Amino acid sequence: MRIDPLTSLYNSMSVKGVIDEEYMKPKQTTFGDVLKDAVTRVNDDQIKSNKMKQDLLLGRIDNPHDVLIQSEKASLSLQALMAVRSKIVEAYKEIMRIQI
């Protein structure tokens, strides 16, 4: 019994145009994109936490533990983001102190 290697399958698919070459290239993300995504996630966590707190006060949520967990998650993600911000500011100040 003969088993064909996957490379021949890949080559035949790319020749036929089945595989888009742009899709196969690795995406390049910048540091700014990573920071923007992190800020968006922290913001989403904060919004979700506030919504859950409001729902708890209005009686829509029966389990206060879920609200506490989401609140702590939002708090920790904000603390982590602030730590990263502090490191970035510190690195910027260090670069500005370098004499040319």
Distances (CA, A) of 10 to 4, 5, 25, 73: 11, 9, 14, 43
Residue 67 contacts residue 61 (beta carbons within 8 Å)? yes
Tell me which of 13 and 81 has the higher pLDDT.
81
Say what angle helices 64-97 and 31-57 make with each other, to 10 degrees: 150
pLDDT in tens, 35-92: 999 999 999 999 999 999 999 999 999 999 999 999 999 999 999 999 999 999 999 9
Asked whether the predicted pLDDT for residue 23 surpasses 70, the reply is: no
DSSP states of the chain as a string?
Answer: -----HHHHHHHHHHHT-S-HHHHSPPP--HHHHHHHHHHHHHHHHHHHHHHHHHHHTT--S-HHHHHHHHHHHHHHHHHHHHHHHHHHHHHHHHHH---
